[in-house]
C-alpha cells in the first residue's frame, strides 16, 4: 500500500466537507486532511461511514459523519448546515460522491436520473450551499472529482461518462462565477484506482488484484493501477494556498493514461529499441 508524508498543520484551523468520504478515494482524502490538521465532515450512503468515523475519532481527529444520499437535496443542505454548526465555518469542499451507473443502450430514465443527481447535480447543490460560508471566511476552495471517463469513450458507459463529462464543464463554469468571491474551483481526473468498483471488476474477471493490476496497468505509463492515497495528495494541493492562482483547471491523476493513446504500455514497450 502506498503512503504519503503529511504536511503538518497545513490545514490547521480549517474545515472541509468531503462527500462520499467513507471509503476509497474519499476516505483517503478525509484521512489525509485530518492528518494535516483540518476538521472534516464527510458523508456516506452506508454504515461504513460509522466505522470510518470511529477509527478517525479514536486516532484523535475531529470529524463529523452524516449518512445520507447525495441525490437528496435536503440532505445536501443538512450536511452543510451540520458542518457549520459543529465546526463554525466551511473552508473547503471536495465533491467526491458519485453513482457508478454504467449503462449504454440499456440505460433507463432512472439510470440517467441517478447518475446525474448523485453526481453533477449534487456537486452544484453543495457548491451553492457552501458559497456563503466561504465568503464569510474571505474565500475557499472546491475540488470536484472527475475521471478519465470524462475524456474518452468506453464501452457501455453512456451514463457514467456523460455525467463525468458534465463535471468537467461544470467545474469551469463554477470557477468563473465564484472567482469574484475568491473561491477557487478545480477538478481531478483519476485513472484506474484500486477502489471498491475496481476490486469488484477484478473479482468478476476471476483474476483479483494480483492478476489484474499488471493487465490494467498497461493503460498507465507506470504499468500499474493507482492507490486512493495517490489521489488524496493532488486534491489537498488544489485545496491548499500553494494552488492560490489555480482555478478552472483539471489535474489528471492517471499515470499518463490520457497521453498514451491506443498503443498502451505493452505495445510501446514491445517497439522500444527495435530500430
**For position 266, what pLDDT does the model report?**
60
Q: In what order do the strands lie in the sheet with 183-190?
A: 63-67, 39-44, 15-18, 92-95, 140-145, 183-190, 250-253
Q: What is the largest CA-CA distance in the chain?
A: 66
Residue 274: its pLDDT value, please?
Answer: 37
Q: Which CATH class is domain 15-192+227-259?
A: alpha beta
Mean pLDDT by 10 residues, the chain (275 residues): 93 98 97 98 96 98 98 98 98 98 97 98 98 98 98 95 98 98 98 90 86 91 95 98 98 95 59 38
Strand partners for 67: 44
Return the bridge partners of 138, or none. none
160 catalytic residue (yes or no) = yes
b/e burial code for range 194-230 (CB count within 10 A of at least 16 → b): bbeebeeebeeeeeeeeebbeebbbbbbeebbbbbbb
Q: In angstroms, rounded to a whole number, what is the distance separating the alpha carbons of residues 42 and 123? A: 14
Q: What is the pLDDT of residue 260?
A: 87
- H helices within the chain, ranges in order? 24-35, 48-58, 73-87, 109-118, 120-136, 158-178, 196-205, 208-216, 229-239, 257-260, 264-271
Catalytic residue among 61, 92, 123, 160: 160
Q: For residues 219 and 27, what is the distance between their CA atoms, to the nearest angstrom? A: 25
Amino acid at each position: 500500500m502506498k503512503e504519503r508524508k503529511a504536511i503538518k498543520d497545513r490545514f490547521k484551523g480549517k474545515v472541509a466537507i468531503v462527500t462520499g468520504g467513507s471509503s476509497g478515494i474519499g476516505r483517503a482524502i478525509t484521512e489525509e486532511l485530518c492528518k494535516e490538521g483540518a476538521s472534516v465532515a464527510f458523508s456516506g450512503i452506508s454504515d461504513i461511514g460509522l466505522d470510518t468515523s470511529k477509527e478517525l475519532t479514536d486516532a484523535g481527529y475531529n470529524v463529523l459523519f452524516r449518512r445520507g444520499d447525495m441525490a437528496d437535496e435536503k440532505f445536501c443542505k443538512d450536511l452543510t448546515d451540520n458542518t457549520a454548526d459543529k465546526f463554525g465555518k466551511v473552508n473547503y469542499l471536495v465533491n467526491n460522491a458519485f453513482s457508478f451507473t454504467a449503462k449504454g443502450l440499456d440505460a433507463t430514465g432512472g439510470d440517467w436520473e441517478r447518475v446525474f443527481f448523485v453526481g453533477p447535480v449534487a456537486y452544484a447543490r453543495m457548491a451553492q450551499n457552501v458559497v456563503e460560508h466561504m465568503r464569510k471566511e474571505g474565500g475557499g476552495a472546491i475540488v470536484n472529482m472527475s475521471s478519465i471517463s470524462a475524456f474518452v469513450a468506453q464501452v457501455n458507459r453512456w451514463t457514467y461518462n456523460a455525467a463525468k463529462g458534465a463535471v468537467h464543464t461544470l467545474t469551469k463554469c463554477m470557477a468563473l462565477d465564484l472567482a469574484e468571491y475568491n473561491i477557487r474551483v478545480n477538478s481531478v481526473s483519476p485513472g484506474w484506482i484500486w477502489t471498491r468498483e475496481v476490486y469488484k471488476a477484478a473479482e468478476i474477471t476471476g483474476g483479483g488484484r494480483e492478476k489484474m493490476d499488471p493487465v490494467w496497468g498497461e493503460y498507465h505509463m507506470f504499468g500499474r493501477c493507482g492507490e486512493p492515497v495517490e489521489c488524496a495528495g493532488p486534491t489537498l494541493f488544489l485545496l491548499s494556498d500553494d494552488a492560490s492562482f489555480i482555478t478552472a483547471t483539471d489535474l489528471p491523476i492517471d499515470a499518463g493514461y490520457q497521453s498514451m493513446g491506443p498503443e498502451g504500455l505493452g505495445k510501446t514497450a514491445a517497439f522500444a529499441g527495435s530500430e
